[in-house]
Amino acid sequence: MTSHSNGDTLTGEFLILPSELKPEYDQRLVFGFGYLPSTNEYKVVRCSYTELNNVWKGHVAVYTLGSQNGWREKEDILYILYSSGLFVNGVIHWIGKIGEQVPRIVAFDLADEKFKCVSTLPLDSFTAFDTFRLSLLGGNMCFIHTVWDESQDCDEIQDIWALKKRDNNAKIRQPRVTREYYDHNWSWSKDFHIAFGGPEMCNYKPFAITKSNEVLLCQDYRKLCIYDSNTSTLTKLWDGDSNGFFRPSSNPSHEHTCFFKDLGECSGDNVTSDIESSDSKMSTS
């Protein structure tokens, strides 16, 4: 488990969690991590899966750091959860679906330790080649939808949808009760449509939005790009070495160089919080 933060200071603490996992439950594993301010508790949520007659069942367990109680088994779920859970707005979110149903967002409330369906996705159909993921960008929970389309001038298209309040697009940063989040006052806004061309420009993952509404994207910890929504241009800023460290590209602009040195230009609470999230595909294999 990665180190957690206390305010703006990294504590450097880590904990190796006990496995205590039955062999038949390890066909698929999904995790989530979040903080419950009302009790000052950090919790890890684990969902392990078994398959029987083409039906997946998720076995949910919760580990509360410092409780000494180990993993506590919760109610099983039929949702197939994709990727790691995203902690935002006080709860842990996943994209999930049951059988052939359309995927939607489900959340685990750390207070009552139950799963809830909290929002539909902005799209109601996907192809087997689409990838999708949740991300925290610019203080908003975002749905990132990637389409591979060789029929156009680019190889990859990425749409970034942000979940915002309808009235004034306010960003909710303080934890609230789950059921209050995504009612009729909330809606999806497609804030960015990014087209990638050529093999070198594929598999970039957005991880931050600047105050000037540019998108920072990272590829395999080694390359960095920035997307300007005003000009619809994608510029490579940094190339990395074999160790994954960033180094300047041949001609980064002075503005972008200064910007990268000062990550305070990025809006959002944690500009690196989403780099490690993996893409989700429609297949459960």
**pLDDT tens profile 176-191:** 434 445 777 788 999 9
Count CB-CB contacts under 10 A for residue 71: 17
CA-based torsion, 258, 264, 268, 271: positive or negative: positive
Q: Which residue has the higher pLDDT, 233 or 5?
A: 233
DSSP state of 198: S
Q: Which residue has the higher pLDDT, 186 or 172?
A: 186
Task: Report the alpha-carbon distance of residue 271 to residue 285 in Å, rounded.
Answer: 30
DSSP state of 241: -
pTM: 0.76
Bridge partners of residue 145, in order along the sequence: 132, 159
Task: Provide the percentage of residues in the chain whose pLDDT is more than 70.
Answer: 69
How far from 55 is each of 28, 83, 144, CA to CA, in Å? 13, 19, 27
85 pLDDT exceeds 50?
yes
18 pLDDT exceeds 80?
yes
106 pLDDT exceeds 60?
yes
- Are the beta carbons of 161 and 193 closer than 8 angstroms? no
**Dihedral (Cα; 121, 124, 129, 130), 10-degree rounding:** -30
**269 falls in which pLDDT band (50, 70, 90)?**
very low
b/e burial code for range 85-122 (CB count within 10 A of at least 16 → b): bbbbbbbbbbbbbeeeeebbbbbbbbeebebeebbebe
58 pLDDT exceeds 70?
yes
